[in-house]
Structure 1
């Protein structure tokens, strides 16, 4: 009797285990969590400065929202901490908040690009910071025969080291330099020199110069001389008449 009970109990336990296994197999796998760019970079390591900038500018939230609410792909070039350390001292502090956002957006392409797609991309490439026109934050992709991908900004160059993350919609590539856009780090255009101001030279006053005895007398002086001569003649005439009379 006991043996029969144990046999039935064993059969029941085996049946229960099979039922549980079947139920587990029928349950679909949980969908992957929403894309989180900072979590991707944190898992990769050595991107603390980039993560801090993405959070401070709220660009991380914008990237996550765009990826999780649209089918639009995205490619991100991620400089590690040693790339930021290679910048000239005070570079980041010299940028305004808006310029920091533009610098980060310059590292983001609004399309998904696999490593093989870099070979056929058309230059200049538009970034999230602007457009493809001069001064609008474009960059150029340069590939070589050994599948090496280089990025040219017009100020500096960077090499794509490896893929940190890719899922068909988002691609994150590590680059060895911070991409410096020409619009922020290019040499300033020298200001044109003001045209010289031409001033009319002032006429110097005519200095009174002494006249020599040989120079002709002025009209006023001639008149005075003539009056003096006439006076002498008249005086001489009076004296002559007086002498005759006496």
Structure 2
């Protein structure tokens, strides 16, 4: 009996030494979730490899992550799928300058968190991070029909899918077309009309002759005085002759 007790006690000691984290210590708390990272979110969702590449090459991905960490306003990303990019004309992206690629990606970023319910009441045109929303700039309009949300840019239309990620900082929605802004892909604004050519003013019949226009004022007065004197002298000469 004593041997059995000693063996049991020894077994308990050995087990406790082999498994120190199991006995007498609380379980470790799960690590807190880190800040949102837009590229990791898209990588996890899949089918966004081209958008991820653009976010990296333009550095807009780093900008978005910084905004999420430094601001309380939040962001919404309309992310085109790889199939959406595949529907573009061949070479469309490569023909864009670095600035235009940056504007294209920023056009898909809304500077606020938008929930699905907000699409029903949002005001158009929707402001994006690309710039102004004028006719020939970066206009974007959202229309809803039931649960369907359609986006119009003035160049093309796209349909919004269900959110693939959403929290109080960031919302990410897939779109089935790359959103093409007017500023890059649309027609250019019409050139301003040329100013009308002013016609020279016609001279009235009372205007002086061109020769008189070129005569200085003091010279013209002298001529008039000489002429008047000559007339008076002539009249006096004629009168004397007849007398």
Please confirm whether the aligned pair reaches a TM-score higher than 0.5, indicating the same fold: yes
Distance between the aligned counterparts of 2:143 and 2:128, measured in 1? 16
- The equivalent of 2:45 in structure 1 is 44
Say yes or no: does 1:31 pair with 2:20: no
Distance between the aligned counterparts of 1:13 and 1:115, measured in 2? 58
Say yes or no: does 1:185 pair with 2:181: no
Distance between the aligned counterparts of 1:2 and 1:131, measured in 2? 88
RMSD over aligned Cα atoms: 2.7
Say yes or no: does 1:124 pair with 2:122: no
Say whether the 8 Å CA contact 1:140–1:153 is kept in structure 2: yes
Distance between the aligned counterparts of 1:177 and 1:39, measured in 2? 22
Say whether the 8 Å CA contact 2:78–2:172 is kept in structure 1: yes
* TM-score, structure 2 as length reference: 0.70
Matched residue SS, 1:177 = coil
Distance between the aligned counterparts of 2:23 and 2:167, measured in 1? 31
- The equivalent of 1:212 in structure 2 is none
**What displacement does 1:11 show?**
5.7
Distance between the aligned counterparts of 1:21 and 1:120, measured in 2? 57
* TM-score, structure 1 as length reference: 0.70
Mark the runs of 5 or more structure 1 residues left unpaired by the alignment.
198-246
Say whether the 8 Å CA contact 1:155–1:181 is kept in structure 2: yes
- The equivalent of 1:153 in structure 2 is 153
Larger radius of gyration between Structure 1 and Structure 2: 1
Say whether the 8 Å CA contact 1:130–1:138 is kept in structure 2: no
Say yes or no: does 1:20 pair with 2:22: yes
- The equivalent of 2:203 in structure 1 is none
Mark the runs of 5 or more structure 2 residues left unpaired by the alignment.
198-243
String of CA shifts for 1:209-236, please: whole Å, max 9, x gaps.
xxxxxxxxxxxxxxxxxxxxxxxxxxxx
Distance between the aligned counterparts of 1:77 and 1:155, measured in 2? 16
Say yes or no: does 1:60 pair with 2:39: no
Relative distance call for 1:111 and 1:192 in structure 2 (3 A) is: closer
User: Mapping of 1:1-246 within 5 angstroms?
Assistant: 1-9=2-10, 20=22, 23-25=25-27, 27-145=28-146, 147-191=147-191
Equivalent pairs counted in the alignment come to 196
